[in-house]
Chains A and B, each alone.
Chain A
Amino acid sequence: MKLLSLPERLGLVTYRNQAKSDIKPHIKVDTDICNSTCPHKCTTYVCPANCYTMDDAGKVHFQVEDCIECGTCMYACDQGAVDWEFPDPEIGRGVTWNFG
Protein backbone atom coordinates (compact mmCIF):
# COMPACT_ATOMS: atom_id res chain seq x y z
CA MET A 1 0.00 0.00 0.00
CA LYS A 2 1.06 3.58 -0.55
CA LEU A 3 3.10 5.07 2.26
CA LEU A 4 1.93 8.46 3.41
CA SER A 5 4.13 11.48 3.96
CA LEU A 6 3.70 13.35 7.22
CA PRO A 7 1.72 16.22 5.62
CA GLU A 8 -0.63 13.63 4.10
CA ARG A 9 -1.04 12.02 7.51
CA LEU A 10 -1.70 15.32 9.23
CA GLY A 11 -4.22 16.07 6.49
CA LEU A 12 -6.35 13.29 8.00
CA VAL A 13 -6.43 14.93 11.43
CA THR A 14 -9.49 16.91 12.53
CA TYR A 15 -8.29 20.03 14.30
CA ARG A 16 -10.46 22.23 16.47
CA ASN A 17 -11.32 25.83 15.63
CA GLN A 18 -9.89 25.37 12.18
CA ALA A 19 -11.95 28.24 10.83
CA LYS A 20 -10.41 30.65 13.31
CA SER A 21 -7.29 32.34 12.03
CA ASP A 22 -6.31 33.80 15.38
CA ILE A 23 -5.85 30.98 17.86
CA LYS A 24 -4.26 30.99 21.28
CA PRO A 25 -1.17 28.72 21.21
CA HIS A 26 -1.21 26.12 23.98
CA ILE A 27 2.53 25.51 23.76
CA LYS A 28 5.12 28.22 24.14
CA VAL A 29 8.66 27.45 23.12
CA ASP A 30 11.61 29.58 24.14
CA THR A 31 13.55 28.97 20.93
CA ASP A 32 16.36 31.17 22.27
CA ILE A 33 17.24 28.19 24.47
CA CYS A 34 17.02 25.79 21.49
CA ASN A 35 19.24 28.05 19.44
CA SER A 36 21.86 28.83 22.05
CA THR A 37 22.57 26.12 24.61
CA CYS A 38 20.60 23.01 23.55
CA PRO A 39 23.01 20.25 22.52
CA HIS A 40 20.53 18.08 20.59
CA LYS A 41 17.55 20.11 19.31
CA CYS A 42 15.67 16.85 19.56
CA THR A 43 12.17 18.29 19.17
CA THR A 44 12.97 18.81 15.48
CA TYR A 45 12.93 15.04 14.98
CA VAL A 46 11.01 13.40 17.87
CA CYS A 47 7.79 15.44 17.42
CA PRO A 48 5.30 13.13 15.64
CA ALA A 49 3.66 16.14 13.95
CA ASN A 50 6.88 17.97 13.01
CA CYS A 51 5.81 21.15 14.78
CA TYR A 52 9.46 21.90 15.40
CA THR A 53 11.57 22.49 12.31
CA MET A 54 15.17 23.44 11.68
CA ASP A 55 16.04 25.93 8.96
CA ASP A 56 19.13 25.87 6.76
CA ALA A 57 21.05 27.91 9.31
CA GLY A 58 20.31 25.26 11.95
CA LYS A 59 17.81 27.41 13.84
CA VAL A 60 14.77 25.85 15.50
CA HIS A 61 11.30 27.21 14.69
CA PHE A 62 8.00 26.19 16.27
CA GLN A 63 4.40 26.27 15.02
CA VAL A 64 1.44 25.03 17.06
CA GLU A 65 -1.11 24.61 14.24
CA ASP A 66 -0.22 20.96 13.49
CA CYS A 67 0.08 19.91 17.16
CA ILE A 68 -1.84 16.74 17.99
CA GLU A 69 -1.41 17.15 21.78
CA CYS A 70 0.62 13.97 22.21
CA GLY A 71 2.96 15.46 24.83
CA THR A 72 6.21 14.16 23.33
CA CYS A 73 8.05 17.51 23.36
CA MET A 74 7.18 18.13 27.03
CA TYR A 75 9.26 15.07 28.04
CA ALA A 76 11.86 15.08 25.26
CA CYS A 77 12.97 18.66 25.94
CA ASP A 78 15.28 18.51 28.93
CA GLN A 79 16.39 22.13 28.50
CA GLY A 80 13.32 23.86 29.91
CA ALA A 81 12.37 25.43 26.59
CA VAL A 82 8.88 23.93 26.27
CA ASP A 83 5.96 25.39 28.22
CA TRP A 84 3.12 22.93 27.60
CA GLU A 85 -0.58 23.44 28.39
CA PHE A 86 -3.74 21.93 26.98
CA PRO A 87 -5.48 24.01 24.30
CA ASP A 88 -8.40 26.20 25.24
CA PRO A 89 -11.58 24.59 23.86
CA GLU A 90 -12.89 27.91 22.50
CA ILE A 91 -9.84 29.77 21.24
CA GLY A 92 -7.15 27.09 21.09
CA ARG A 93 -6.24 24.50 18.47
CA GLY A 94 -5.73 20.85 19.35
CA VAL A 95 -7.45 17.73 18.08
CA THR A 96 -10.72 15.85 17.92
CA TRP A 97 -9.97 12.23 17.06
CA ASN A 98 -12.41 10.38 14.81
CA PHE A 99 -11.10 6.95 15.87
CA GLY A 100 -8.62 7.52 18.67
Chain B
Amino acid sequence: MEEKFDCIIVGAGVAGLSAAMTLANNNMKFLLIEKGEFPGSKNVSGGVLWGNDLAKLVPKYWEEDAGWDRYINQRRLTFMDDQSTFTVDFKSSHFNEPPYAGVVVLRSKFDNWLAEKVQEAIDKSDYAMDSFIAPNILVEEILEEDGKAVGIRTGDEKFYADSVILAEGVNNLLTRKVGLQDKYVPADHMLTGIKEIIRFDQKVLEDRFQLNGKSGMSNEFVGYATNGVEGGGFLYTNKDTISLGLVLGLKDLREKGQKPYDILNEFKKHPVIADTIRGGEVVEYSAHVVSSGDKRVMPKKLYKAGLVVCGEAANLLMNAGKAIQGMDYAMRSGILAADTITEAKKNKDFGDAAMKKYQDTLSDSYIMKDINNFQDAVHLLHDPVMTQKMPNLICDFGRNFFSIKNEPTKKAREMLSDSVKKHASYWDLIKIGAKGAKSL
Protein backbone atom coordinates (compact mmCIF):
# COMPACT_ATOMS: atom_id res chain seq x y z
CA MET B 1 0.00 0.00 0.00
CA GLU B 2 2.95 2.33 -0.61
CA GLU B 3 1.53 4.23 -3.53
CA LYS B 4 -1.04 6.94 -3.50
CA PHE B 5 -4.70 6.05 -3.99
CA ASP B 6 -7.13 7.93 -6.19
CA CYS B 7 -9.46 8.03 -3.23
CA ILE B 8 -9.76 6.99 0.41
CA ILE B 9 -13.30 6.38 1.64
CA VAL B 10 -13.88 6.63 5.38
CA GLY B 11 -16.70 4.37 6.52
CA ALA B 12 -18.17 1.21 4.99
CA GLY B 13 -21.83 1.92 5.54
CA VAL B 14 -24.34 2.33 2.75
CA ALA B 15 -22.82 5.64 1.57
CA GLY B 16 -19.21 4.45 1.66
CA LEU B 17 -19.97 1.11 0.03
CA SER B 18 -22.02 2.76 -2.73
CA ALA B 19 -19.14 5.15 -3.37
CA ALA B 20 -16.72 2.22 -3.40
CA MET B 21 -18.85 0.20 -5.81
CA THR B 22 -19.04 3.18 -8.15
CA LEU B 23 -15.30 3.80 -7.96
CA ALA B 24 -14.58 0.12 -8.67
CA ASN B 25 -16.94 0.19 -11.65
CA ASN B 26 -15.23 3.39 -12.86
CA ASN B 27 -11.87 1.61 -12.64
CA MET B 28 -10.44 3.72 -9.85
CA LYS B 29 -7.85 2.79 -7.25
CA PHE B 30 -9.17 3.27 -3.74
CA LEU B 31 -8.99 2.31 -0.10
CA LEU B 32 -12.22 1.82 1.85
CA ILE B 33 -11.63 2.02 5.59
CA GLU B 34 -14.04 0.74 8.24
CA LYS B 35 -13.53 1.00 12.00
CA GLY B 36 -15.72 -2.03 12.80
CA GLU B 37 -14.77 -5.68 12.70
CA PHE B 38 -16.49 -5.98 9.31
CA PRO B 39 -18.60 -3.64 7.14
CA GLY B 40 -21.96 -3.15 8.85
CA SER B 41 -20.80 -4.32 12.26
CA LYS B 42 -21.34 -0.92 13.85
CA ASN B 43 -24.31 0.21 11.80
CA VAL B 44 -27.91 0.49 12.90
CA SER B 45 -30.99 1.49 10.91
CA GLY B 46 -34.75 1.03 11.21
CA GLY B 47 -34.78 0.12 8.44
CA VAL B 48 -36.10 0.19 4.93
CA LEU B 49 -33.92 1.02 1.95
CA TRP B 50 -36.32 2.85 -0.34
CA GLY B 51 -36.16 3.22 -4.10
CA ASN B 52 -34.24 1.43 -6.74
CA ASP B 53 -30.61 2.59 -6.65
CA LEU B 54 -29.58 -0.77 -5.18
CA ALA B 55 -30.39 -2.40 -8.53
CA LYS B 56 -27.97 0.02 -10.21
CA LEU B 57 -25.17 -1.15 -7.93
CA VAL B 58 -26.13 -4.83 -7.74
CA PRO B 59 -28.20 -5.65 -10.84
CA LYS B 60 -30.94 -8.20 -10.17
CA TYR B 61 -30.04 -8.36 -6.47
CA TRP B 62 -33.50 -9.88 -5.91
CA GLU B 63 -32.46 -13.10 -7.61
CA GLU B 64 -30.20 -13.78 -4.67
CA ASP B 65 -31.59 -14.82 -1.30
CA ALA B 66 -28.94 -12.84 0.57
CA GLY B 67 -28.25 -9.40 1.92
CA TRP B 68 -31.76 -7.99 2.12
CA ASP B 69 -34.60 -9.43 4.20
CA ARG B 70 -37.96 -8.62 2.61
CA TYR B 71 -39.48 -6.33 0.00
CA ILE B 72 -42.24 -3.95 1.13
CA ASN B 73 -45.71 -4.38 -0.35
CA GLN B 74 -47.66 -3.09 2.64
CA ARG B 75 -47.39 0.28 4.34
CA ARG B 76 -49.17 1.19 7.55
CA LEU B 77 -49.40 4.45 9.47
CA THR B 78 -50.87 4.06 12.93
CA PHE B 79 -52.26 6.72 15.26
CA MET B 80 -52.19 5.59 18.84
CA ASP B 81 -53.66 6.55 22.21
CA ASP B 82 -53.27 4.62 25.43
CA GLN B 83 -55.89 1.97 24.46
CA SER B 84 -56.44 2.19 20.74
CA THR B 85 -54.85 2.31 17.34
CA PHE B 86 -56.29 3.81 14.18
CA THR B 87 -54.37 2.70 11.12
CA VAL B 88 -54.12 3.81 7.52
CA ASP B 89 -53.16 0.66 5.67
CA PHE B 90 -52.12 0.29 2.06
CA LYS B 91 -51.18 -3.05 0.53
CA SER B 92 -50.87 -3.78 -3.16
CA SER B 93 -49.67 -6.54 -5.44
CA HIS B 94 -48.41 -3.65 -7.56
CA PHE B 95 -45.35 -3.73 -5.29
CA ASN B 96 -44.73 -7.47 -5.72
CA GLU B 97 -42.58 -7.37 -8.84
CA PRO B 98 -38.94 -6.27 -8.96
CA PRO B 99 -37.54 -3.69 -9.07
CA TYR B 100 -39.00 -3.31 -5.60
CA ALA B 101 -40.08 0.01 -4.11
CA GLY B 102 -38.22 -0.74 -0.91
CA VAL B 103 -36.46 -3.55 0.89
CA VAL B 104 -36.07 -4.15 4.62
CA VAL B 105 -32.47 -4.67 5.65
CA LEU B 106 -30.53 -5.49 8.79
CA ARG B 107 -27.31 -3.58 8.48
CA SER B 108 -24.86 -6.04 9.98
CA LYS B 109 -25.91 -8.51 7.29
CA PHE B 110 -26.74 -6.14 4.43
CA ASP B 111 -23.62 -3.97 4.56
CA ASN B 112 -21.41 -7.03 4.80
CA TRP B 113 -23.12 -8.54 1.77
CA LEU B 114 -22.79 -5.28 -0.18
CA ALA B 115 -19.09 -5.23 0.73
CA GLU B 116 -18.71 -8.69 -0.85
CA LYS B 117 -20.25 -7.27 -4.02
CA VAL B 118 -17.82 -4.34 -3.90
CA GLN B 119 -14.94 -6.81 -3.56
CA GLU B 120 -16.21 -8.65 -6.66
CA ALA B 121 -16.24 -5.32 -8.53
CA ILE B 122 -12.70 -4.59 -7.32
CA ASP B 123 -11.58 -8.02 -8.56
CA LYS B 124 -12.90 -7.18 -12.03
CA SER B 125 -11.18 -3.77 -12.13
CA ASP B 126 -7.61 -2.99 -13.20
CA TYR B 127 -6.81 -2.44 -9.53
CA ALA B 128 -7.77 -5.90 -8.30
CA MET B 129 -4.49 -6.02 -6.36
CA ASP B 130 -4.34 -2.34 -5.44
CA SER B 131 -7.78 -1.39 -4.16
CA PHE B 132 -8.72 -2.57 -0.69
CA ILE B 133 -11.54 -2.85 1.82
CA ALA B 134 -9.80 -2.49 5.18
CA PRO B 135 -11.84 -3.13 8.35
CA ASN B 136 -10.66 -2.70 11.94
CA ILE B 137 -9.02 0.67 11.24
CA LEU B 138 -10.05 3.87 12.95
CA VAL B 139 -9.27 7.04 11.01
CA GLU B 140 -8.19 9.66 13.53
CA GLU B 141 -7.30 12.54 11.28
CA ILE B 142 -7.68 13.83 7.75
CA LEU B 143 -4.27 14.90 6.48
CA GLU B 144 -4.28 18.26 4.76
CA GLU B 145 -1.66 20.21 2.83
CA ASP B 146 -2.28 23.83 1.92
CA GLY B 147 -5.96 23.39 2.78
CA LYS B 148 -6.38 20.32 0.56
CA ALA B 149 -7.13 16.85 1.90
CA VAL B 150 -4.29 14.51 0.93
CA GLY B 151 -4.89 11.42 3.03
CA ILE B 152 -5.67 10.01 6.44
CA ARG B 153 -3.87 9.07 9.62
CA THR B 154 -4.59 6.08 11.83
CA GLY B 155 -2.29 5.79 14.84
CA ASP B 156 1.22 6.33 13.47
CA GLU B 157 0.30 5.19 9.99
CA LYS B 158 -0.54 7.52 7.14
CA PHE B 159 -2.19 6.74 3.83
CA TYR B 160 -2.23 9.17 0.95
CA ALA B 161 -4.76 9.81 -1.81
CA ASP B 162 -5.82 12.48 -4.28
CA SER B 163 -9.17 12.63 -2.57
CA VAL B 164 -11.12 11.60 0.52
CA ILE B 165 -14.80 10.69 0.76
CA LEU B 166 -16.15 11.08 4.28
CA ALA B 167 -18.95 8.57 4.83
CA GLU B 168 -18.53 8.23 8.57
CA GLY B 169 -22.19 8.38 9.58
CA VAL B 170 -24.19 10.79 11.70
CA ASN B 171 -21.61 11.02 14.47
CA ASN B 172 -19.39 12.85 12.01
CA LEU B 173 -16.30 13.62 14.06
CA LEU B 174 -13.99 13.99 11.05
CA THR B 175 -16.44 16.25 9.22
CA ARG B 176 -16.29 18.45 12.30
CA LYS B 177 -12.49 18.27 12.51
CA VAL B 178 -12.07 19.46 8.91
CA GLY B 179 -14.36 22.38 9.68
CA LEU B 180 -17.46 21.48 7.63
CA GLN B 181 -19.68 20.94 10.69
CA ASP B 182 -19.76 22.74 14.05
CA LYS B 183 -17.64 21.13 16.76
CA TYR B 184 -20.71 20.81 18.98
CA VAL B 185 -23.98 19.86 17.34
CA PRO B 186 -26.86 20.62 19.71
CA ALA B 187 -29.67 18.19 20.48
CA ASP B 188 -32.34 20.42 18.94
CA HIS B 189 -32.82 18.65 15.61
CA MET B 190 -31.35 15.26 16.44
CA LEU B 191 -33.15 12.14 17.58
CA THR B 192 -32.18 8.92 19.28
CA GLY B 193 -33.41 5.71 17.75
CA ILE B 194 -33.68 2.59 19.88
CA LYS B 195 -34.90 -0.77 18.76
CA GLU B 196 -35.25 -4.40 19.56
CA ILE B 197 -34.90 -7.26 17.14
CA ILE B 198 -37.59 -9.76 18.10
CA ARG B 199 -37.40 -13.28 16.74
CA PHE B 200 -40.33 -15.53 15.81
CA ASP B 201 -40.72 -18.86 14.19
CA GLN B 202 -40.69 -17.81 10.53
CA LYS B 203 -44.09 -19.37 9.82
CA VAL B 204 -45.64 -17.63 12.82
CA LEU B 205 -44.21 -14.33 11.60
CA GLU B 206 -45.50 -14.86 8.07
CA ASP B 207 -48.96 -15.85 9.26
CA ARG B 208 -49.23 -13.06 11.79
CA PHE B 209 -48.28 -10.34 9.33
CA GLN B 210 -49.85 -12.00 6.26
CA LEU B 211 -46.53 -12.20 4.44
CA ASN B 212 -46.11 -14.24 1.32
CA GLY B 213 -42.67 -15.47 0.27
CA LYS B 214 -40.35 -12.50 0.65
CA SER B 215 -43.03 -9.83 1.01
CA GLY B 216 -42.87 -7.53 4.01
CA MET B 217 -44.66 -4.79 5.89
CA SER B 218 -43.61 -1.46 7.32
CA ASN B 219 -45.58 0.26 10.05
CA GLU B 220 -44.95 3.68 11.59
CA PHE B 221 -46.64 4.89 14.79
CA VAL B 222 -47.42 8.32 16.16
CA GLY B 223 -48.90 9.29 19.50
CA TYR B 224 -48.85 7.19 22.65
CA ALA B 225 -45.90 5.15 21.29
CA THR B 226 -43.47 7.85 22.44
CA ASN B 227 -45.20 8.69 25.74
CA GLY B 228 -45.45 12.40 25.14
CA VAL B 229 -41.99 12.80 23.63
CA GLU B 230 -41.69 14.13 20.09
CA GLY B 231 -40.98 11.34 17.61
CA GLY B 232 -42.57 8.08 16.55
CA GLY B 233 -42.41 4.32 16.53
CA PHE B 234 -41.73 1.75 13.84
CA LEU B 235 -42.19 -1.93 13.10
CA TYR B 236 -40.62 -3.67 10.12
CA THR B 237 -40.83 -7.34 9.25
CA ASN B 238 -37.49 -9.03 8.59
CA LYS B 239 -37.03 -12.63 7.46
CA ASP B 240 -37.74 -14.31 10.81
CA THR B 241 -37.56 -11.30 13.10
CA ILE B 242 -39.18 -7.91 13.42
CA SER B 243 -37.48 -4.58 14.10
CA LEU B 244 -39.53 -2.74 16.71
CA GLY B 245 -38.38 0.61 17.93
CA LEU B 246 -38.76 4.30 18.59
CA VAL B 247 -37.21 7.49 17.36
CA LEU B 248 -37.20 10.13 20.09
CA GLY B 249 -36.43 13.84 19.80
CA LEU B 250 -33.33 14.36 21.90
CA LYS B 251 -34.11 17.86 23.12
CA ASP B 252 -37.63 16.83 24.09
CA LEU B 253 -36.36 13.69 25.82
CA ARG B 254 -33.97 15.87 27.81
CA GLU B 255 -36.68 18.35 28.74
CA LYS B 256 -39.21 15.70 29.71
CA GLY B 257 -36.75 13.70 31.77
CA GLN B 258 -37.58 10.33 30.22
CA LYS B 259 -35.55 7.19 29.69
CA PRO B 260 -35.72 5.76 26.16
CA TYR B 261 -35.74 2.10 27.24
CA ASP B 262 -38.65 2.75 29.64
CA ILE B 263 -40.67 4.35 26.83
CA LEU B 264 -39.92 1.32 24.65
CA ASN B 265 -41.30 -1.00 27.33
CA GLU B 266 -44.44 1.13 27.65
CA PHE B 267 -44.84 0.91 23.86
CA LYS B 268 -44.48 -2.88 24.02
CA LYS B 269 -47.07 -3.04 26.80
CA HIS B 270 -49.68 -1.21 24.71
CA PRO B 271 -52.53 -3.73 24.23
CA VAL B 272 -52.32 -3.61 20.42
CA ILE B 273 -48.53 -3.96 20.32
CA ALA B 274 -48.60 -6.69 22.97
CA ASP B 275 -50.93 -8.68 20.70
CA THR B 276 -48.63 -8.06 17.75
CA ILE B 277 -45.42 -9.27 19.38
CA ARG B 278 -46.75 -12.09 21.54
CA GLY B 279 -44.47 -15.11 21.67
CA GLY B 280 -41.46 -13.28 20.28
CA GLU B 281 -37.99 -13.38 21.76
CA VAL B 282 -35.75 -10.33 21.92
CA VAL B 283 -32.39 -11.16 20.35
CA GLU B 284 -30.80 -7.72 20.12
CA TYR B 285 -31.19 -4.27 21.65
CA SER B 286 -29.54 -1.37 19.87
CA ALA B 287 -29.55 2.41 19.69
CA HIS B 288 -28.21 5.11 17.42
CA VAL B 289 -28.55 8.83 16.96
CA VAL B 290 -30.32 9.88 13.77
CA SER B 291 -30.73 13.30 12.17
CA SER B 292 -34.18 14.72 11.54
CA GLY B 293 -33.92 16.15 8.05
CA ASP B 294 -34.20 19.66 9.46
CA LYS B 295 -31.94 21.77 7.28
CA ARG B 296 -30.97 23.99 10.18
CA VAL B 297 -28.62 21.32 11.48
CA MET B 298 -27.11 20.16 8.20
CA PRO B 299 -23.58 21.15 7.19
CA LYS B 300 -23.94 23.96 4.66
CA LYS B 301 -20.90 23.02 2.63
CA LEU B 302 -20.28 19.37 1.83
CA TYR B 303 -16.88 19.68 0.19
CA LYS B 304 -13.50 21.26 0.33
CA ALA B 305 -10.39 20.80 -1.79
CA GLY B 306 -9.81 17.05 -2.12
CA LEU B 307 -12.76 16.05 0.05
CA VAL B 308 -16.51 15.42 -0.09
CA VAL B 309 -19.01 14.38 2.62
CA CYS B 310 -21.88 12.01 1.90
CA GLY B 311 -24.61 9.97 3.61
CA GLU B 312 -25.62 10.77 7.14
CA ALA B 313 -22.26 12.42 7.83
CA ALA B 314 -23.88 15.17 5.76
CA ASN B 315 -27.11 14.64 7.74
CA LEU B 316 -28.84 13.46 4.58
CA LEU B 317 -31.95 11.94 6.08
CA MET B 318 -35.58 12.93 6.08
CA ASN B 319 -38.92 11.88 7.46
CA ALA B 320 -41.58 14.02 5.81
CA GLY B 321 -44.42 11.73 6.85
CA LYS B 322 -44.33 9.40 3.87
CA ALA B 323 -41.29 7.39 4.79
CA ILE B 324 -38.07 7.64 6.74
CA GLN B 325 -35.49 8.07 4.05
CA GLY B 326 -31.82 7.83 4.93
CA MET B 327 -30.22 4.77 3.38
CA ASP B 328 -31.41 5.68 -0.12
CA TYR B 329 -29.97 9.17 0.36
CA ALA B 330 -26.72 7.56 1.53
CA MET B 331 -26.64 5.36 -1.54
CA ARG B 332 -27.32 8.12 -4.07
CA SER B 333 -24.96 10.62 -2.42
CA GLY B 334 -22.21 7.97 -2.32
CA ILE B 335 -22.67 7.34 -6.04
CA LEU B 336 -22.61 11.09 -6.79
CA ALA B 337 -19.50 11.56 -4.65
CA ALA B 338 -17.69 8.77 -6.51
CA ASP B 339 -18.73 10.18 -9.88
CA THR B 340 -17.31 13.58 -8.89
CA ILE B 341 -14.02 11.97 -7.85
CA THR B 342 -13.86 9.99 -11.11
CA GLU B 343 -14.43 13.15 -13.12
CA ALA B 344 -11.78 14.95 -11.05
CA LYS B 345 -9.22 12.27 -11.85
CA LYS B 346 -9.97 12.55 -15.55
CA ASN B 347 -9.39 16.31 -15.36
CA LYS B 348 -6.45 15.90 -12.94
CA ASP B 349 -8.05 18.50 -10.70
CA PHE B 350 -9.20 17.73 -7.14
CA GLY B 351 -9.44 21.36 -6.08
CA ASP B 352 -12.25 23.14 -4.31
CA ALA B 353 -14.12 24.00 -7.55
CA ALA B 354 -13.87 20.41 -8.82
CA MET B 355 -15.29 19.06 -5.53
CA LYS B 356 -18.09 21.61 -5.60
CA LYS B 357 -19.54 19.61 -8.51
CA TYR B 358 -20.57 17.00 -5.96
CA GLN B 359 -22.73 19.46 -4.06
CA ASP B 360 -24.11 20.82 -7.34
CA THR B 361 -25.19 17.37 -8.52
CA LEU B 362 -26.58 16.63 -5.06
CA SER B 363 -28.62 19.85 -5.20
CA ASP B 364 -29.99 18.78 -8.59
CA SER B 365 -30.84 15.29 -7.33
CA TYR B 366 -34.09 14.20 -5.72
CA ILE B 367 -32.36 14.24 -2.33
CA MET B 368 -31.89 18.00 -1.95
CA LYS B 369 -35.00 18.75 -3.98
CA ASP B 370 -37.06 16.73 -1.50
CA ILE B 371 -35.23 18.03 1.57
CA ASN B 372 -35.77 21.61 0.37
CA ASN B 373 -39.39 21.07 -0.65
CA PHE B 374 -40.50 19.25 2.48
CA GLN B 375 -38.98 21.33 5.27
CA ASP B 376 -42.46 22.45 6.31
CA ALA B 377 -43.55 18.83 6.56
CA VAL B 378 -40.52 18.04 8.73
CA HIS B 379 -41.45 20.92 11.07
CA LEU B 380 -45.11 19.85 11.05
CA LEU B 381 -44.25 16.29 12.05
CA HIS B 382 -42.35 17.56 15.06
CA ASP B 383 -45.22 19.79 16.18
CA PRO B 384 -46.72 18.56 19.47
CA VAL B 385 -50.24 18.97 18.04
CA MET B 386 -49.30 16.45 15.38
CA THR B 387 -47.45 14.01 17.63
CA GLN B 388 -49.83 14.12 20.61
CA LYS B 389 -53.20 15.83 20.19
CA MET B 390 -53.92 14.53 16.71
CA PRO B 391 -53.45 10.80 17.50
CA ASN B 392 -55.63 11.16 20.62
CA LEU B 393 -58.31 12.94 18.63
CA ILE B 394 -58.26 10.37 15.84
CA CYS B 395 -58.44 7.43 18.26
CA ASP B 396 -61.25 9.08 20.22
CA PHE B 397 -63.18 9.56 17.01
CA GLY B 398 -62.49 5.95 16.02
CA ARG B 399 -63.76 4.68 19.37
CA ASN B 400 -67.03 6.61 18.96
CA PHE B 401 -67.47 5.86 15.29
CA PHE B 402 -66.98 2.12 15.71
CA SER B 403 -69.07 1.82 18.90
CA ILE B 404 -72.62 0.59 18.31
CA LYS B 405 -74.68 1.42 21.37
CA ASN B 406 -78.37 0.67 20.63
CA GLU B 407 -79.16 4.32 21.00
CA PRO B 408 -79.57 7.10 18.45
CA THR B 409 -76.27 7.49 16.63
CA LYS B 410 -74.63 10.83 16.07
CA LYS B 411 -73.53 11.79 12.60
CA ALA B 412 -69.82 11.31 11.99
CA ARG B 413 -69.33 15.05 11.65
CA GLU B 414 -70.77 15.60 15.11
CA MET B 415 -68.60 12.82 16.57
CA LEU B 416 -65.55 14.40 15.00
CA SER B 417 -66.49 17.75 16.43
CA ASP B 418 -66.81 16.17 19.91
CA SER B 419 -63.37 14.58 19.60
CA VAL B 420 -61.83 17.82 18.43
CA LYS B 421 -63.26 19.70 21.42
CA LYS B 422 -62.04 17.03 23.81
CA HIS B 423 -58.45 16.73 22.58
CA ALA B 424 -57.54 19.86 20.70
CA SER B 425 -59.20 22.99 19.42
CA TYR B 426 -60.35 24.15 16.04
CA TRP B 427 -57.59 26.73 16.27
CA ASP B 428 -55.03 23.88 16.58
CA LEU B 429 -56.55 22.20 13.55
CA ILE B 430 -56.62 25.38 11.50
CA LYS B 431 -52.95 25.97 12.28
CA ILE B 432 -52.06 22.36 11.46
CA GLY B 433 -54.27 22.44 8.36
CA ALA B 434 -52.54 25.56 7.10
CA LYS B 435 -49.12 24.07 7.77
CA GLY B 436 -50.21 20.77 6.24
CA ALA B 437 -51.54 22.38 3.09
CA LYS B 438 -48.27 24.24 2.69
CA SER B 439 -46.10 21.21 3.36
CA LEU B 440 -47.77 18.63 1.16
Contacts and interface: CB of A to CB of B under 8 A. Distances in A.
Contact of B41 (A46, A50, A87, A97): A97
Given A48-B192, A97-B284, A86 B185 contact: no
A96 B268 contact: no
B187 A76 contact: yes
Given A71-B170, A75-B185, A42 B108 contact: no
A71 B171 contact: yes
A71 B172 CA distance: 10
B139 to A, nearest CB: 9
Interface in B225-281: 238, 241, 250, 253-254, 257-261, 265, 268-269, 274, 277-281
A95 B186 contact: no
B161 interface: no
Given A3-B268, A48-B192, A86-B35, A98 B284 contact: yes
Interface string A60-100: 00000000111110111010100011111110001111111
B185 A69 contact: no
B42 A94 contact: yes
Contacts of A10: 285
A95 B42 contact: yes
B41 A96 contact: yes
Contacts of B109: 99-100
Nearest to B43: A100
A98 B37 CA distance: 11
From A74, A95, A100, residue with most partner B Cβ within 10 Å: A100
B268 A71 contact: no
Given A75-B190, A89-B35, A46 B280 contact: no
A50 to B, nearest CB: 8
A49 B280 contact: no
Contacts of A80: 184
Interface residues of A, number: 40
A80 to B, nearest CB: 7
A57 interface: no
B263 to A, nearest CB: 10
A19 interface: no
B66 interface: no
Chain A residues touching B, majority SS: loop
B22 interface: no
Nearest to B139: A86
Contact of A3 (B45, B265, B279): B265
Given A48-B192, A78-B186, A100 B41 contact: yes
Chain B residues touching A, majority SS: mixed
Contacts of B196: 4, 9
A12 B186 CA distance: 30
Nearest to B278: A1
Interface in B132-156: 136-138
A46 B108 contact: no
Given A80-B184, A97-B284, A74 B42 contact: no
Contacts of B269: 3
A100 B106 contact: yes
B54 to A, nearest CB: 17
Given A46-B192, A72-B250, A99 B108 contact: yes
B288 interface: yes
Nearest to B45: A100
10 contacts: A42-B253, A70-B288, A75-B185, A89-B136, A94-B42, A95-B42, A97-B42, A97-B108, A98-B284, A100-B108
Interface of A: 1, 3-4, 6, 9-10, 12-13, 16, 40, 42, 45-46, 48-50, 68-72, 74-76, 78, 80, 84-90, 94-100
Interface of B: 35-37, 40-45, 106-109, 111, 136-138, 170-171, 173, 184-187, 190, 192, 194, 196-198, 238, 241, 250, 253-254, 257-261, 265, 268-269, 274, 277-289
Sort A-B residue pairs by CB-CB distance and give the 5 closest, nearest first: A100-B108, A100-B107, A9-B285, A48-B287, A71-B289
